[in-house]
Amino acid sequence: MESGLEREIKIRIASPPLKKIEEELDRLAKTLGTEEQTDYYFDKENMELTKGDKALRLRMTDTRSELTYKGPRLSDKVKARAELSLMLEDPESMRKILLNLGYNIILIVKKRRKNYDYRGAVISLDRVEELGDFMEIEANALDDDGLISLTKELMKLLKVQGEFETRSYAQLLALKTGRSV
């Protein structure tokens, strides 16, 4: 249901342990809930979406399913891209329609995500299967510099050490598994 520009920063957490950051955030921010998310990424045989820096994702959790299209990245500094989403009541039929249109599942990303609201920004603590622990800060209302300031402030507050990662989980997982996504 959310449509618009997604603007986020992802940090690959070096330290402290995720549990420690979680305890801090439980105190400092408003918990929005925890989900086990399985993301199915689709593309055509010719990888037209991947080549165009686009993504088509079916996200399934215990309680909801969502289809999302992501457009090409618009910024080098942070991860900013057009995003269109809609909730699905019947993800299995959607999956079958996509298969019939020639879209195959090229990658599956599984993670546990805990979301927080912090001054209007959404902080996600992610434990991603095969990739490790990450923190994402999404603030669609801020510009690039505002988001970078907020992120640095948060890292200081939470004593987080880690590097900025502009690639998506799908890209990182594809790199790891030797797939050209």
The residue (of 69 and 164) whose beta carbon lies closer to a second copy is 69
Instruction: Report the distance separating Cα 164 and Cα 157, nearest Å.
Output: 17
Q: Which of 86, 105, 108, 157 binds a second copy (CB under 8 A)?
A: 86
Is 3 a residue that touches a second copy (CB under 8 A)? yes
Q: Quick check: 111 and 128 in contact, CB under 8 A?
A: yes
Q: Which of 71, 73, 146, 167 binds a second copy (CB under 8 A)?
A: 71
3-state secondary structure at position 26: helix
Question: Where in 6-65 is the site for a second copy (CB under 8 A)?
Answer: 48-49, 54, 56
In whole angstroms, the minimum distance from the beta carbon of 4 to a second copy comes to 11
Q: Which of 30, 64, 96, 119 binds a second copy (CB under 8 A)?
A: 96
Q: Which of 16, 20, 69, 144 binds a second copy (CB under 8 A)?
A: 69
Amino acid at 102: G
Phi first, then psi: give them for residue 159, nearest 5 degrees: 55, 40
Handedness of CA 151, 1, 76, 166 (dihedral sign): positive
The residue (of 74 and 88) whose beta carbon lies closer to a second copy is 88
Q: Which long-range contacts link 92-101 to residues 24+ away (Cβ below 8 Å)? A: 94/58, 94/65, 94/67, 95/40, 95/58, 98/42, 98/56, 98/58
Residues that bind a second copy (CB under 8 A): 1, 3, 48-49, 54, 56, 67, 69, 71, 82, 84-90, 93-94, 96-97, 100-102
